[in-house]
Amino acid sequence: MKRIFLLSPAHCGGERARLLLNERPQFDLAQRVHGDGAPLGEVFSFMSGLYFRGKLAYAQAFASPPRRVQGVLVITSSDGLRPADETIDVERLRRFATVDIGAGDSPFRDTLARDACAVAKVTGDDCESSCSAASRPRNTSRRCWRRSGRGCAFPRRSSVGAT
């Protein structure tokens, strides 16, 4: 059975995010974010702590994606679904911090729906999708999978739930 994981976004406006966004980076990860960048999963793990880190480790261990699909995708506030190993820099992190996903901002919904539909079309019904997002991102993904037509039905064997 093929399996992909969609991981919930990290809060990009908290204290840990401010440490990464500080103009005088004081530690390795912050310096990398201000330089060539660091993997999205590592950055979100730092900002969310054990919560995201545990989900990421589990997803990396158990993902078995179909060809042409990343096994671990992270829901971002402004850039839709992005691979956990994709490099992000300080400018992208700042962009993430400008969108309040709790408010249900249209840019968040639109990019998530766009990418969720693209993934659903590639994976089809033969791939299990596990979404660890809070209710609003999860519901947005589900609506997309359901309403987008042929090839975009949320797989029946999905294990979708808030963690």
pLDDT tens for residues 117-126?
Answer: 888 888 877 7
CA distance 162 to 148: 23
Higher pLDDT, 103 or 39: 39
Per-residue confidence (pLDDT) for residue 104, from 0 to 100: 62
Q: Worst-scoring range by mean pLDDT, 42-51, 135-144, 152-161?
A: 152-161
Domain limits at 42? Answer: 2-160
Q: In whole angstroms, how large is the CA radius of gyration of the chain?
A: 15
> Residue 158 pLDDT > 50, yes or no?
no
Higher pLDDT, 18 or 129: 18
Higher pLDDT, 47 or 141: 47
Domain count, the chain: 1
The angle formed by the CA atoms of residues 28, 72 and 114, to the nearest 5 degrees, is: 110
When pLDDT is averaged across residues 38-51 and rounded to a whole number, the result is 94
The chain-wide mean pLDDT, for the chain, equals 81
Per-residue confidence (pLDDT) for residue 137, from 0 to 100: 47
Per-residue confidence (pLDDT) for residue 34, from 0 to 100: 98
